[in-house]
A and B are shown apart, each in its own frame.
Chain A
Amino acid sequence: MLENFHLVYAIVGFFSLGAILGLFSRGKSQHVYLTYIPSIIGSFLAVILSIVVFTSEDIHITLSSQQIFNFEIFIDGVAAFFILIIGLISFAVSIYSLSYSKKFDDKKNNSNLGMLVNLFIISMILVVASNNIFFFLIFWELMSLTSFFLVIYEHDNENNLKSGLTYLVMTHLGTAFIMASFLFMYAQSGSFSFDSFRDAGIIPDYVRDVAFILAFIGFGTKAGMVPLHIWLPQAHPSAPSNISALMSAVMLKIAIYGIVRYLFDFNSIDDSSNYLWWGLGIVVIGSVSALVGILYALVERDIKRILAFSSIENIGIILIGLGLSVVFASFNLTSLSILAFVASMFHTLNHAIFKGLLFMTAGSIHYSTHTKNIEDLGGLIKKMPWTGLMFLIGTIAIIGLPPLNGFISEWLILQSLLSVFQIPSTILQVSLTFASLALALTIGLAAATFVRLFGISFLSKSRTLKAANAIEVPRFMLTGKAILASACIVLGILPFIGINLIVTAFNLSYTPLSPFEPLSIITEDGKSFASLMMPAVLIILLSVFVSIFVFVKIIGGKTSTKKYNTWDCGFGGLSERTQYTATSLVEPLSRVFAVFYKPKNEIINSFYSDQNQYLKKSIEVSYTTRNIFEEFYDLVLSFNLYILNKIRKIQTGKINAYILYIMIALLSLLFAMGTGLIE
């Protein structure tokens, strides 16, 4: 008789199978199918598993009864929600990888990619499923290390090694904080199991405060919140695109999972003022992350760096929602807290879907043009029509325009920000309005970023031969993207699916929506504040479209359409060099936000002769912007190196010097013992 928990074994089994097959199929031609088909099945089973948990009961497995090595798997609704995200995205990405991985067929270690992908996905699932500090950290570390190896998969490029190292350092910094936080909690509760953290009585408030701050820094590093985001724009572009899709869409969400567990499971947020500061801190960090992330996405030229910076922005938006939820809860405004929480989780789900889609599309562009620089692209919509359509869907979704899923979650986040007027504190109301100001600017800048990304890379004339010779990518790559693109559409038009999913997963006291009911926001005193009904909006849009189409056909009759040149000011011949570039398109904006970019415009004229300044030989124009955060980290790094260089002087390499050091150490210890400083 099969039971629910057998699914967990099956999932672990399939991914392990994929990993083992990957190990043995090195250099073989079928390695792609051998490694990815198990991961497709495993991901599919993960989706099934989460649905099973939603509809029936939580899964609890204990494997051994020893104190420390008590391997416990506990999949409640929260874990199942994140397993659903992992499963859905991994399913699409694995299908996509069936074709994408052929790109690396010439490499000697071609099957390693598939092996690591399998390990990476299963480690993420097990992080979420673990119910014990020890195994949580083991799988967390496995996830970090496999992703590190995946980032440096193309290690023949030196830049990749450098960004891999940054990632490795930052992710371990984060792990250290998480570990410290867990140990703080453990010191009070005396048990490695998460169950002991859930008991409200055992752990005193100040320990909870410290543990939360440590955990927030730790998980925040993994999530890429500003100012700990530095690894993210380096690691994502270095990894192969299917990996960047997994890292950005899924791995960052595991960090969000950690924060959610801490906030709402280990602690029960109520109206003690203690939690207000947590919430405000999260909102502030979220707003800063959103704004800084998108500001630097705007001027980037590397597609994957743009998407990486945009991930920072979206993590910021998710954090704003989470923080607001805590703030509302600390004032006992339960329904608003639920609203903000649903908004935040909906955005988590949506971001996973559209960022996965966009990274896969970026991979497709790289696959057929061999460049990631948008200044070299252009005109791809005619060469790769399906990829173009899916990129457009992803773009509309991530900008947050109706009728796709991004709109719903941004609408919910805006509604929860609007609801701050119900907080009984003037200072908070006014200061949280600044968060809405930041979010509004973020939404605007995100639109600009993605209009630029789509417009420059897919529209107008091809800027280089690489783009002109591009062809549509193979079928499997399109299928993978199509799965996520259709998820964007479905969740946008039928938002009740996503909302009901979150309500059941997190067991919120909120009546699930029926399909034909508007999504409505109700204030604490029971008045209706706002409502939205996406299917009806779609019907209106379509009927307007059909009626105007018929109207124009009837009034105008049959008219002919002629294809002709674009107006070229009568100079003859439109050149790809006269059209706007990615840099010039946002030049006005980079001048408006000059504080962040410090743009520098340089024009170097060289003349045929120094006497005659009219005949110019060449004009060189360069427009550069700077990233002040990366410069800050460079500063920290060079300071560290400077200090370390000074310290190095004591390492003389002479044996008598070391004996002297030992003598000094011994003497000082004896002195300390003698005076009673230590016992």
Chain B
Amino acid sequence: MNEFYITELFFGISQVLLLVVLSPLIVGIMRKTKARSQKRVGSPIIQPYFDILKLVKKEEVVSDQSSWIFRCNPWVNFATTVSAAFFIPVSIVYSPFGVMGDILLVIGLFGLGKFFTILSGLDVSSSFGGLGSSREIMFSVLVEPALLITIFVIAIFYGGTNISMIVTSANEISFLASPGVIFALIAFFIILMVETGKLPFDNPSTHLELTMIHEATVLEYSGKSLALIEWSQSIKQIILLTLFVNIFIPWGISDNFSLTEISFGMLFIITKIISLGILITLIETRIAKWRLFRVPDLIAISIASSMMGVIFFFI
């Protein structure tokens, strides 16, 4: 029993490592898809790895206005994001670390990272940083209710806020059985687009003061710090994608601890994440960036949708 538990823990850690290692690949695939759909050739899909390797070796320039908050932000961001990955089931319906934290903790950890990012945007005392922080604050305030009510729907439908439990029951009950979860899916999809900085909310590929949000807060970073920031952003993206896939379309996920089932589960999850990534990119290329003050409308749709989900569950 004890030995089994240790094997499980090792498996959990290797799953996290897999997410960490694969995350730049997803970014590469999404960039490639975007380039292709815009009739460009685009950079190779493993370009994000080269970027990280290059940045890690480069000299770092730190703003002389900044304090230790600015310098510790990349580390805090990376540590919180990767720690959040420990609680997410990937190829098997439960995570070995699942009992230690639930989905609210995952949100809290992301929140801690975001907190430091916003502060470091203000720390460099440029107007770009302030601009990014201001917009990031606005979005996070508005997304918070949408996120929590969506979790509310999922938690009451699948009987718990522990992600392992959610995924286990999601695997057993088809979500088509309840319209409530479909509303949660719509809400969660919008949140996913906001949190990963996708159009029409944010356009991380430009450095234009009209469009940038997340980029503006991290504009002053270079070298190692930038590598960590970019990497943790892509890990956050893969975590959210995994969460989305495993909660709403868990088909093919392994429900017991056996080698063959897990390998199949792994295969399924990677395929699903990549397809979801491509789908999101295709949606992104079809819409333009929205005006900043129109974006709250879309988030309001997300809140309304999740509230509908709750009402559908209760009635």
Q: Which A residues contact B (CB, under 8 angstroms)?
A: 378-379, 381-382, 388, 392, 396, 399-402, 407, 411, 414-415, 417-418, 421, 426, 429-430, 433, 436-437, 439-441, 443-445, 447-448, 451-452, 454-456, 459-461, 518, 521, 523, 527-533, 536-537, 540-542, 544-545, 548-549, 552, 555-557, 559-568, 574, 576, 578-580, 584-589, 591-592
Contacts and interface: CB of A to CB of B under 8 A. Distances in A.
A455 B126 contact: no
A537 B165 contact: no
A523 B161 CA distance: 12
A528 B80 contact: no
B28 to A, nearest CB: 19
Interface residues of B, number: 84
Nearest to A436: B152
A440 B152 CA distance: 11
A379 B64 CA distance: 12
Interface string B49-76: 0000100111111111111110000010
A548 B130 CA distance: 29
A563 B304 CA distance: 48
18 contacts: A378-B125, A381-B69, A414-B148, A421-B156, A426-B315, A433-B307, A437-B145, A451-B133, A454-B119, A455-B122, A531-B99, A540-B100, A559-B59, A564-B64, A566-B66, A567-B128, A580-B130, A580-B133
A557 B60 CA distance: 13
A540 B95 CA distance: 14
B21 to A, nearest CB: 11
Closest 8 CB pairs of A and B: A580-B130, A444-B144, A460-B125, A556-B56, A440-B148, A455-B122, A440-B145, A444-B141
B23 to A, nearest CB: 13
A439 B104 CA distance: 14
B137 A528 contact: no
Contacts of B140: 444, 447-448
Given A430-B310, A566-B65, A402 B56 contact: no
B141 A589 contact: yes
Contact of B67 (A444, A459, A541): A459
Contacts of B160: 527-530
Residue from A396, A418, A530, A560 having most chain B Cβ neighbours under 10 A: A530
A566 B128 CA distance: 10
Interface string B197-230: 0000000000000000000000110011001100
A392 B119 CA distance: 11
Contact of B144 (A402, A443, A562): A443
B130 A585 contact: yes
Given A455-B119, A455-B133, A561 B59 contact: yes
A436 B144 contact: no
B75 A548 contact: yes
A400 B108 contact: yes
Interface in B104-124: 104-105, 108-109, 111-112, 115, 118-119, 122-124
Given A454-B119, A533-B100, A444 B145 contact: yes
A530 B158 CA distance: 12
Contacts of B6: none
Given A441-B145, A541-B79, A586 B56 contact: no
A584 B144 contact: no
Nearest to B112: A401
Nearest to B153: A433
B105 A545 contact: no
A211 to B, nearest CB: 34
B141 A574 contact: no
Interface in B148-171: 148-149, 152, 155-156, 159-162, 165
